[in-house]
Amino acid sequence: MENTDVEILKERADRPSSQRKIAKILAAARSEFFTAGFTGASIEAIAARAEVSKVTIYNWFKTKENLFAEVVKEQCRVMSETLVDENSKTRSLRETLLFTAENMLDTMMVEERIRFDRILAAEVNRDPKVGKYFLDNGPRMLLKNLMNLLKKSQERGEIQTTNLTWSSEMFVGLVLGRLDFFIRYGENFRLTTQERRERAERAVDAWMLIHKK
């Protein structure tokens, strides 16, 4: 990408009107990317949805890649928020992981997200860097936040692990299992609130047992 996150943020104005315009552009981009995919989406279409000019979008984000990255980050923001220090100070590790697990399951079953995943998987064959944009700004970011949480828990003597990366990946695997695989290939998989809660609890308790100090 041409600009780093820091450079992009420095270029953004602090005025409320500018922030509202940015939010409107991101909402339009989200709809366009989730409908048409990365390759099919255009700055022209996003500008039309946001009711702004193409120049305005380029002024804020510079490239379609940067805009895509920002949309992906926003989609991961809610799940990431469950892993920040403020939450871990008021919740136990189990409670934090349980909340995160339920959010992951919720996100996995959003119809819009399912369509996006299917489109994205097809696009990666034509342009591998599209997959890198998504992985770097989505799953890898979430994994990093999870690793930071587990590292703090390890330092407090709450859990034991020899590899934080493996432990983080194990957590995600226990929560999602093969749900993502079946959903991506057309299975109409839906969990009730109770089923989602029970699945999350089983996954978290299994993970905690493996990592028990």
Torsions phi, psi for 164 (to 5 deg) = -65, -35
pLDDT tens readout for residues 126-170: 778 878 878 887 788 888 889 999 999 999 999 999 999 999 999
Question: Are 145 and 139 spatial neighbours (Cβ–Cβ below 8 Å)?
Answer: no
Asked whether 116 and 36 are in contact (CB, 8 A), the reply is no
CA 27, CA 74: separation in Å to the nearest integer? Answer: 10
Q: What is the DSSP string of the chain?
A: --S-HHHHHHHS--SHHHHHHHHHHHHHHHHHHHHHHHHH--HHHHHHHHTS-HHHHHHHHSSHHHHHHHHHHHHHHHHHHTTSHHHHHHS-HHHHHHHHHHHHHHHHT-HHHHHHHHHHHHHHHH-HHHHHHHHHHTHHHHHHHHHHHHHHHHHTTSB--S-HHHHHHHHHHHHHTTHHHHHHTT------HHHHHHHHHHHHHHHHHHTB-
Q: What residue ranges define each of the domains in the chain, with the CATH number in brackets?
A: 1-75 (1.10.10.60), 82-213 (1.10.357.10)
Tens digit of pLDDT per residue, the chain (213 long)? 444 554 555 455 566 667 788 889 999 998 898 888 888 899 999 999 999 999 999 988 888 888 888 887 777 666 566 666 556 677 889 999 998 898 888 888 878 778 877 777 777 887 788 788 788 877 888 888 899 999 999 999 999 999 999 999 999 999 998 888 888 788 887 889 999 999 999 999 999 999 998
Instruction: Report DSSP state, residue 157.
Output: T
Q: Give the chain's end-to-end CA distance (angstroms, integer).
A: 42
Please report the pLDDT score of residue 107 as a whole number: 82
Which pLDDT score, from 0 to 100, does residue 14 have? 63
Taking the model in full, what pTM does it have? Answer: 0.75
pLDDT tens digit string along 94-111? 999 998 898 888 888 878
What is the total residue count of the chain?
Answer: 213
**What is the number of alpha carbons within 13 Å of residue 107 lying toward its C-beta?**
21
Other C-beta atoms lying within 10 Å of the C-beta of residue 213 = 10
Q: Is 204 exposed, middle or buried (0-12, 13-18, 19+ CB in 10 A)?
A: buried
Give yes or no for a contact between 204 and 94, defined as CB atoms under 8 angstroms apart.
Answer: yes
